[in-house]
Chain A
């Protein structure tokens, strides 16, 4: 299943901004881009069914991805739920 939320935290140790991004609202907006991508894939001879499957798997694979960097000057976190 594709992730429905992303948590992004940007800032230092003295203060950070934490954002909860509702990806379930973003996915429908990306649909036209996906259709355009499929068209381009077809032009370049890529199997559209395979491209669709790969795109879905990549998006689904994002769920659980966690990247966190905590340094002296700045900190960053992104997590897909």
Chain B
């Protein structure tokens, strides 16, 4: 439980606010908490990185030179993709849950909320992965 929420409950216990006022304050805190990922998502959309970049380079393997993969995915596309999850009909969500459980992934897609998914994409903007092996180099980063 957050400090702010505890403070509101303490104020209610001390009799400083009525139950209705405390309810209103907690609802305001919830709204603020729900708006935070969206605000950060908007920040990423404007000022932060705009693309997820994936670079794969396989070093010299033959006469024709190395193989290179260069992928640049706009974060806007990722965000649109994750929002599609919220459009899955309820009947289909049960089937998806069942299929995920069978494959050892105990995720309940009915609990996925657009705000959570926005937050996921926001944190993806801070991701940097560098893998360098003997003959292959992989870099994943936001730009």
Contact = CB atoms under 8 A, between A and B. Distances in A.
State yes or no: do A and B come from one complex: yes
A80 B112 CA distance: 30
Given A47-B87, A72-B64, A64 B80 contact: no
A50 interface: yes
A28 interface: no
A9 interface: no
Contacts, number: 75
Contact of B80 (A60, A69, A70, A71): A60
Contacts of A64: 50-51, 72, 74, 76
B106 interface: no
Interface of A: 13, 41, 44-47, 50-51, 54, 57-58, 60-73
13 contacts: A13-B64, A13-B65, A51-B87, A54-B80, A60-B80, A62-B74, A64-B74, A65-B74, A66-B70, A69-B70, A70-B67, A70-B70, A73-B64
